[in-house]
Amino acid sequence: MQDGKNLIMAIVLCLLVVVGWSYLADYMGWVVKPDPAEIAKMEAAQAEQAQKAQAEAEAKQKAQAEPLPAFTPAPGVDVTVDAPLYKAVLHSGGGVLRSFELKKYTSGLDEDSPRINMVDPQTAAVAPLGLVINGQPSWSTGKWALESDSGVSVAEGGKGVVRLVGEVDNLRVTRELTFNADNYLISEKVSLATLGNDTRSVRVRYTVAADTSNAANTNYDAMRVAWDNGGSLGEETSTDKLTKEGVEASGKLYWAGPMSTYFLSAVMPGNADEARMVGRMQGSVYRVALEPKEVVVAPGQETTLEVSYWMGPKVRKMLAAVSDQLALSVDLGMFSIIAKGLLWLLEFFQQYTHNWGLSIIMLTIVIKAVFWPLTAKSYSSMEKMKKLQPMMASIREKYKDNKEAMNKEVMALYKTYGVNPASGCVPILVQLPVFFGLYQALLTSIELRHAPFITYLPGTDLIWLADLSAKDPYYITPIIMGITMFLQQRMSPPATDPTQQKIMMFLPIVFTALFLSFPSGLVVYWLVNNILSIAQQWRMGRRNKLLAQ
């Protein structure tokens, strides 16, 4: 009995505590009353969620009641897209490319040289532009039909559309490919709808490929797999690694694909925030597949994905018009700002000379004129050093056994005659960024590919500097360049250190050997620069002699 009373008292006390605490907290202001605006906002959100759930349920019910339009697969046919810049052929059985010929670029210098084909037979065999859906190659596991004409002509300034419909992995897939007349961009919309009544998670992988024939396969024009991850260019050139291991990258991938110095086959996802890229080499073909994050496809709803492809030359203006990230495929190096300015000047001269070789010479003259004061200062310092050579030789002989005393005497000599031994090097260091920028600009400029300077060797019918992106076939320009470099050294005061003198003697030989395989456009620049430097050095030497009289 007592236990029952105790239980009743405990319950009463608990109620008093709970109720009393509520009143006390309310009275003391410890309880924050809900804001009416917040309550309204929460109720609106709940109502919106309820409406969304109801809409999804109705869509699902409607999808069950109204199935997708009937689909009748058709035998695959070749679809030709004829545009001003290219001629493409793709197969309606999945949309893979069979050919992509560039009308303005040939593989050789001869008039009958074949056009550059971004998708040759070896490349076509690995199904470039094919979609891999949930791990299944859509071109071989799916059924397809063509909903547009098998011949598409793209007029100047216009666009052409190829539309394909297929069924892959119990999904209705629609591919709408738009071809542009004014550039090499292919835009695509991929629409997905489930054929069942269940919500599906779908992974779509986009593929591109290119054969080694797209490059000259030299040190300056080699094939590679490249990608842009968050604005940073990544590359893999090792054929061994690409064949055995492959290469992977993930993150904010703006584009990825195989490329050479002058041509690019790239895929650009519509949403680059989360994507993964895999690159491999199969035989002579470089393959790249890019997969953005998976999407959810609900019954009765159509999910649309966007993607673009670039199939063509790396023309900077065209690439930049598409995106700044795609323009990074033309690697201008760490001095890209300088390189862009020099390329602008080069294109400016080309408008008047209509010869890229002459334009390079004009650009070299301008650069030399800009740096003339710095070079003059360097030559002046070298002349002063030349006059001190006999005294420095005497000091070295006198203190040959005491290097510390010799260095003190040499520094005192510099101070007495107001000579700074580093003043001859500073102007050269200032010019180095320009030299490197121009080197990278000329090396990567597709405008120099097959651009002639002096087509035939004078007095003969031998083809000579007909392609400024290729080496001099007879090594005439690099040999002359080496001779001019040797003359420069003979006109300059010798180094104070005997070891340095020996090294400087071998530099013309080393540079000549290095330049033998350089693109002739670069050799022309260096050769003209050397000739102008010799002329400037001779002029200053003559002026100094007249002043000394």
pLDDT 10s digits, 272-323:
788 999 999 999 999 999 999 999 999 888 999 999 999 999 999 999 999 9
In a domain, 70, yes or no: no
Last residue of a domain, one of 330, 364, 388: 330
Whether residues 261 and 394 fall in one domain = no
Considering the chain, what is the average pLDDT of its residues? 85
Query: Which pLDDT score, from 0 to 100, does residue 308 have?
Result: 97
**500-512 pLDDT, tens per residue?**
667 777 888 988 9
Q: 480 lies in a domain?
A: yes
Residue 34 lies in a domain: no
The total domain count for the chain is: 2
Mean pLDDT of 136-141: 94
* Four-point Cα dihedral 505, 508, 513, 517, nearest 10: 160
pLDDT band at 7 (very low <50, low <70, confident <90, very high): very low
Longest dimension (CA), the chain: 136
- The span from the CA of 81 to the CA of 365, in Å, is 46
pLDDT, average across residues 391-417 = 80
Which one of 6-15, 173-182, 190-199 scores highest in mean pLDDT? 173-182
pTM of the predicted protein model:
0.80
Among 297, 330, 363, the domain-final residue is 330
Look at residue 229 and tell me whether its pLDDT is greater than 60. Answer: yes
Average pLDDT estimate for 435-460: 90
In the predicted structure, residue 23 carries a pLDDT above the cut 50: no
pLDDT at 3 over 50: no
- In which domain, by residue range, is 367 found? 339-547
Q: Are residues 386 and 447 in the same domain?
A: yes
Please determine, for residue 488, whether its predicted confidence score (pLDDT) is greater than 70: yes
Final residue before a domain boundary, out of 276, 308, 330: 330
Whether residue 251 has pLDDT greater than 60: yes
Same domain, 246 and 352: no
pLDDT of 423 above 70? no
172 and 263 in a common domain: yes
* pLDDT exceeds 60 at position 31: no
CATH classification at residue 301: 2.70.98.90
Q: Is the pLDDT of residue 544 over 80?
A: no
pLDDT of residue 483: 94
Which are the contacts of 202, defined by CB distance < 8 A and separation ≥ 6?
Answer: 133, 134, 171, 192, 294, 295, 296, 297, 303
pLDDT band for position 19 (50/70/90)? very low
Interatomic CA distance for residues 94 and 87, integer angstroms: 19
**Angle formed by the axes of helices 356-370 and 520-548, nearest 10°:** 40
